[in-house]
Amino acid sequence: MEPKIRTLRDQIDVLNLEILEKLSQRAAIAEAIGELQTQTGSSHYDPVREQEMLDTLTAANEGPFSDATVKSLFKQIFQASMHLEVEQAKKSYLISRAEDRPDTVVRVGEIEVGGNGSPVLIAGPCAIESKEQVEFTAERLASRGVKLFRGGAYKPRTDPYSFQGLGVEGLRIGREACDRYGLKFVAEIMDARDLAACEEHVDVLQIGARNMQNFTLLRAVGRSSKPVLLKRGLSATIQEWVMAAEYLLYEGNPNVMLCERGIRTYEPTTRNTLDVSAVALAKQETHLPVFVDVTHSGGRRDLLVPLTKAALAVGADGIMTEVHPNPAVALSDQKQQMDFDTFDAYLEATGYHKKLTPERHEVYGF
């Protein structure tokens, strides 16, 4: 090689290293600014500041690069710094896996959800309809080893004329039956004004799909000491879903469990489409336990077994499903709830019968 070129290239090599050193120094300062912005809640993107820097640089530019080239080079640097700041801010989210946070294990009485424990099962009717229906279901679920009983007292319904739930009376019925059969009670809260009543009767507060971004409700439930099951919204992105969980953690409630329940897609043969990647990603990105509601996902009884297998294969910490003494006469979700024969076959087919330890309780008189 021409010795002159070699000398010039050597100079370039030295300059490259100097530029790299300066860029790294600059990035460290940008990170420090980003941290302060995150702490004060201010935005990482400041277009006015960027414009000022570009003006200063072009004013000082003596060539040979054109002003446009200088601008585009520095814009790249600004973007790279911004990316660093945003990545760093993500790490500081309370839901984040960053900093090697261990799996959150949520305790509901003696039941542990999350971590390396065996996947749990939440089962029960869609809605609490009557004392008889709940007693019948609770007794049989307990006899099969189910520990977490679900049943809605406040029902979010599309049609305002359809059954809306029994309200506080439903909460009382659920509590009584759960106490009788040693079950923990999971029920939906739809309105922050019902918090006191729900806290009095319920062991796990469920936030339903339709309320996933009801930020007032999230903040109120975030201040509760009860564990929360947060369902994914009908059309919520994974990011929106985990940010909703962040509200709960931010308000001080660490006992948050996520629940994928299917999302709305163009597919009409299922009620919703179970998003298994969301389960895997929620497990990967957050330290929270993740449930899959197989009933509302498919909206079809014939999919309950395969969807449960898929959910467990992808790492779900628990499954939620609906069981009713006589689904044909249920006041909601008739098509998708299981009767007890179907439930027994379901337990067998999914392997849950081996995971559950049945307890015997005296049969209530029905």
Residue among 140, 261, 287, 324 that touches ligand PEP (CB under 6 A): 261
Is the omega angle on the peptide bond into residue 358 within 30 degrees of 0, that is, cis?
A: no
Q: How far apart are CA 39 and CA 41, in angstroms?
A: 5
Q: Which is nearer to Mn ion, 85 or 333 (CB)?
A: 333
- Work out how close the CB of 168 gets to ligand PEP at its nearest, in angstroms, rounded to a whole number: 17
Q: Token match 């069981």: residue?
A: 323
Pick what 139 binds: Mn ion, ligand PEP, none; C-beta below 5 to 8 Å, kind-dependent: none
Q: How far apart are CA 53 and CA 162, in angstroms?
A: 61
- Work out how close the CB of 113 gets to Mn ion at its nearest, in angstroms, rounded to a whole number: 21
Q: What are phi and psi of 142, to 5 degrees?
A: -60, -40
Choices 45-53, 110-118, 165-173, 202-210; region in contact with ligand PEP by CB under 6 A:
202-210
Q: Which is nearer to ligand PEP, 152 or 222 (CB)?
A: 152
When asked if residue 109 is in the footprint of ligand PEP (CB under 6 A), the reply is no
* Contact set for Mn ion, span 321-340 (CB under 5 A): 333
Residue 152 DSSP symbol: B
Q: Which is nearer to ligand PEP, 114 or 262 (CB)?
A: 262
Pick what 156 binds: Mn ion, ligand PEP, none; C-beta below 5 to 8 Å, kind-dependent: ligand PEP
Please say whether the beta carbons of 263 and 275 come within 8 A.
yes
When asked if residue 124 is in the footprint of ligand PEP (CB under 6 A), the reply is no
Please say whether the beta carbons of 162 and 332 come within 8 A.
yes
Residue among 120, 126, 183, 279 that touches Mn ion (CB under 5 A): 126
Please say whether the beta carbons of 138 and 181 come within 8 A.
yes
Residue 225 C-alpha from the chain's centroid: 18
Residue 94, judged by CB atoms within 10 A of its CB (0-12, 13-18, 19+), counts as middle
When asked if residue 146 is in the footprint of Mn ion (CB under 5 A), the reply is no
Coil, helix or strand at residue 258 = strand
Which residues contribute to the site for Mn ion (CB under 5 A)? Answer: 126, 333
Which residues contribute to the site for ligand PEP (CB under 6 A)? Answer: 126, 152, 156, 188, 208-210, 231, 261, 293, 296
